Homo-oligomer: A and B are copies of this chain.
């Protein structure tokens, strides 16, 4: 199969994106050819603008085009609570609930010895510095319920204990709308362990 060259190049670029296979890459590239020219130009500009203007917040390491980021510089957010997440996408997921009014700390990864990621490779010392320098009353650990997430939570808990602040972890258990019958053993175990009085 011989794609015309500029098309082959575009397909290749789409294919480098996560979760985009050869079929989807081809579909996206063909769609681009059919888009109005100014739309394509705007898309291309949006790519470059996002890449060149967005960096990491010096306080919480969230992605932002301003520094400090929109959340850290928002006077209505509660600076005494810090929610620790692994990645910006986790922060975004929590923001979408509209239920949290504190600030964040994006670790930019999780401890994972298998992948060669140790405590010094993620933003742990920056978190400790923040807790040490500011009047922080609660740290919420909101890391994935995976081996890496659990290990990182345990490690952080140990390091944060000496500061004498409240350390909490988000609840693990049955997702809303799910059926107990189909829950896996690990989830059910955690749901039982995490039972609360009503």
Interface residues of chain A, those whose CB is within 8 Å of chain B, are 1-7, 9-10, 12-13, 16-20, 24, 26-33, 35, 37, 39-54, 63-66, 69-71, 87-89, 92, 95-96, 98
Contact = CB atoms under 8 A, between A and B. Distances in A.
A9 B41 CA distance: 13
B10 A47 contact: yes
Q: Which of A46, A52, A54 has the most CB of B within 10 A?
A: A46
Copies of this protein in the complex: 2
Please classify the interface of chain A as helix (H, G, I), strand (E, B), loop, or mixed, using the class held by over half of its residues: helix
A4 B46 contact: no
B4 A70 contact: yes
Given A27-B18, A27-B89, A31-B18, A4 B65 contact: yes
B43 A13 contact: yes
A16 B35 CA distance: 10
Q: Which of A6, A10, A12, A16 has the most CB of B within 10 A?
A: A6
A31 B96 CA distance: 20
B54 A2 contact: no
A65 B6 CA distance: 7
